[in-house]
Amino acid sequence: MLAVQSLRNTLMATILTATIAILVNLALAALTSNTYNASHLLKAEIFGSHSKWVYSLKYGSASVFLLVSFFCCSVAIGFLIDANFLINASSLDEDDDQFSSDHSYTQTIFERGFGLALIGNRMLCVSFPMLLWMLGPLPVALSSGALLWGLYGLDFASAR
């Protein structure tokens, strides 16, 4: 029961991550057509370069990270749903061989789903400094430092 609840929570978080990634990418695509025309409003040196090539690089890199995040989360959702089905089917009748499945296959599907969900989540986190790159180099440096601090807190447990 606990495995199914953990799986459900991961599935909900992955769906939320995929939704955020695709919505931010669509908003970025809508802004792409009007941003270069309004670039004369941001002429200060702190905002960085304003050439067409640099704008394409900024929007393209943010869009690629968001699309990879969406793809990884979408595939992870499929794996997690399959793992949920395999866990529930194997626990229906353990005496009956009708629903017996290979436990190593279930574990492999389970690990692939969690791994892809983690990659999708991290790609979404990395895309936020890329989005802030459009405002200049200073927000990128600050958000990258905050991202490293936040991910370090998630990945490593504090020694208490």
Q: pTM of the full predicted structure?
A: 0.81
CA gap 22, 12 in Å, rounded: 16
3-state secondary structure (DSSP) of residue 8: helix
Residue 141 lies in a domain: yes
The per-residue DSSP string of 77-128 comes to HHHHHHHHHHHHHHTT-SSSSSS---HHHHHHHHHHHHHHHHHHHHHHHHHH
Q: With a cut of 80, say whether residue 57 has pLDDT above it.
A: yes
Residue 43 lies in a domain: no
pLDDT tens for 27-43 read 888 877 666 555 555 55
Residue 137 lies in a domain: yes
Token pair for 6: 């953990």
- Which residue range(s) make up the domain with 17? 2-34+49-155
Please tell me the total count of domains within the chain.
1
Residue 54 lies in a domain: yes
Residue 42 lies in a domain: no
Residue 160, CA distances (Å) to 18, 157 in order: 34, 9
pLDDT tens for 69-105 read 999 999 999 999 998 888 887 766 555 555 555 788 8
Q: What are the backbone angles phi and psi of residue 38, rounded to the nearest 5°?
A: -95, 10
pLDDT tens for 107-128 read 899 999 999 999 999 999 999 9
Token pair for 143: 């958000």
Token pair for 13: 């978080």
Residue 65 lies in a domain: yes
Residue 108 lies in a domain: yes
Answer for the pair 123, 151: CB distance below 8 angstroms, yes or no: no
Residue 44 lies in a domain: no
